[in-house]
Structure 1
């Protein structure tokens, strides 16, 4: 993992969450519980992570 990426894992279920939060999680590329993706460290990605941070674990 380079310094230019962030590793994001979905650790809480989307059941009962708002529709726009579900869309944000899908936009991050996360599909299921405990799914991990590496994303570029950009202000846009950081904003998406901040919006649904209560569902995620972020490393890097």
Structure 2
């Protein structure tokens, strides 16, 4: 599978609890923190839930 880089660009403060928990589950803590992970269906669903808070790039 392809790898993706997920970066937290907006704060989860004031968002719904499920969105805050999703950000933590993705491994993102502070603003501008990034993680590189496999693009599995579960991860893509999590990214879709918080798509307004993160940016996603494909990594080669």
- TM-score, structure 2 as length reference: 0.91
Q: Separation in 2 of the partners of 1:26 and 1:15?
A: 12
Q: Which runs of 5+ in 2 are unaligned?
A: none
| Match of residue 43 from structure 1 | 41
**1:4 CA displacement:** 2.2
**Which of 24, 31, 34 in structure 1 is aligned with 2:32?**
34
Moved over 4 A (4+): none
| Match of residue 7 from structure 1 | 5
**Which of 15, 18, 40 in structure 2 is aligned with 1:17?**
15
Q: Which runs of 5+ in 1 are unaligned?
A: none
Name the structure where helix makes up a greater proportion of residues.
Answer: 1
Please report the RMSD computed on the Cα atoms of aligned residues, expressed in angstroms. Answer: 1.0
